[in-house]
Amino acid sequence: MKVDVLLGLQWGDEGKGKVVDVLTPKYDVVTRFQGGPNAGHTLEFEGKKFVLHNIPSGIFQGNKVNIIGNGVVLDPIIFKQETDELKKQGIDLTEKLFISKKAHLILPTHRILDAASEAAKGKTKIGSTLKGIGPTYMDKTGRNGIRVGDILNDFDKKYAALREKHLQLIEMYGFEYNLEEYEEGLKEGIETLKQFTLIDSELELNRYLKNGQSILAEGAQGTLLDIDFGSYPFVTSSNTVCAGACIGMGVPPRSIGEVYGIFKAYCTRVGAGPFPTELFDEDGERMRKNGNEFGSTTGRPRRCGWLDLVALKYSVMINGVSRLIMMKSDVLSCFDTIKIATAYKIGNDVVEEFPFELPEGLEPVYKEMPGWNCDLTAIKSEDDFPAELKNYIRFIEEETGVPITIVSVGPDREQTIQIEK
């Protein structure tokens, strides 16, 4: 049996949570392999809306096993808030959610460090979510971090030592903060974590594979935010690409099966960083309004623009995508004409490959296509797609060389059209 990987191909917010929820019935196990509470995976069904930050998006489908893998960074305070909220909705996770002992903990002083560092950057800030993600990964690679397994053995002593080190660093920034405020809820969060089964997830996942059980790996953020291959330095602090699944789960590369790549029918981005197809006109505002483009984690309005095929083909290549999933096709229903960037003009050169960096002055080269200009939200079958949408899908498939096998026509679980290829 193989591990199928599902990940975003743009700058995050592609709709991964919804698709994981839709695909989960096909799998025995769902696992998160990187990122932390900077993720916001939104799911809607039966008139309810859920936003998950730490927890895999497979928790709502039966009694599937859900695992937070070793590559994730976990905030005990946010984790408790999230599990408490789900418990109010009648969802008890203790029997079906398992946590890797090797996942690293986000501590209150990590969040202070994040805020202090971002404030010190001034106009050059990268748009951090201020969740402490970057400082936690820095401690991990610097071999100073505290892992989930450490809560079972002298956590208070380990935290006190690392907190003191952090406070000395924060003092250098001259950043004002209230430590008690940041630490509020930490003890309760640690106690909540202890109520869950903590596992050697790499051993369990390989055991599942050996026993022929199917696994879906859920990525967070998007390929263009990858620490190595994204629009550096405006990126996250982990590997969001397919190869990151092997590291964040402890499974060998040969165990990877299908690679599902999710993209919106247009592009969005939250925070700072280059965005070649960004729109600053009424079209961009219409996309934002129709798509409700506000960050599920930060609440910040997302920047919006036309689909960028240069970036999309790059992401497909990096990840070895075998199946594409197009989200939010319904958002473009109000446009008579739709544009797709097929190349970049940089100076006097026209380039069709994603460059080392995206310089100021870059101009997208657009292909225009007729829009479908009709409501898609009630459609139940591919056969009912308007011809213009079918042409849009066909063009993307021809350009990327990968079939589109799922098209989302609305936010609800039921508004998901699976296409046989």
Question: What is the DSSP-derived secondary structure letter of residue 371?
Answer: -
- Number of H helices and E strands in the chain, helices first, is 12, 20
The single-letter code of the amino acid at 93 is L
The residue among 80, 27, 17 whose CA lies nearest residue 51 is 17
> How far is 186 from 60, CA to CA, in rounded Å?
27
| Tokens 């069904």 belong to residue | 45
Question: Is 166 annotated as catalytic?
Answer: no
- Largest interatomic CA distance in the chain: 64
Tokens of 8: 């975003």
The single-letter code of the amino acid at 276 is P
Distances (CA, A) of 370 to 231, 247, 308: 31, 43, 17
The single-letter code of the amino acid at 212 is G
Question: What is the DSSP-derived secondary structure letter of residue 94?
Answer: T
Distances (CA, A) of 366 to 70, 266, 308, 339: 42, 13, 9, 6
> How far is 62 from 13, CA to CA, in rounded Å?
25
What angle in degrees, to the nearest 10, is found between the helix axes of 76-88 and 186-194? 70
Question: What is the DSSP-derived secondary structure letter of residue 389?
Answer: H
Question: Is 41 annotated as catalytic?
Answer: yes
Strands 48-52 and 41-45: antiparallel
Radius of gyration, alpha carbons of the chain: 21
The residue among 356, 336, 338 whose CA lies nearest residue 396 is 338
Query: What is the per-residue DSSP string for 19-47?
Result: HHHHHGGG-SEEEE-SB-TT--EEEEETT
Tokens of 421: 């290829």
Catalytic residue among 4, 13, 283, 308: 13
Distances (CA, A) of 185 to 72, 91, 138, 179, 192: 20, 21, 23, 12, 10
Catalytic residue among 41, 53, 104, 110: 41
What DSSP element (H or E) covers 316? Answer: helix 309-319
> How far is 305 from 284, CA to CA, in rounded Å?
6
> How far is 153 from 151, CA to CA, in rounded Å?
6
Catalytic residues: 13, 41
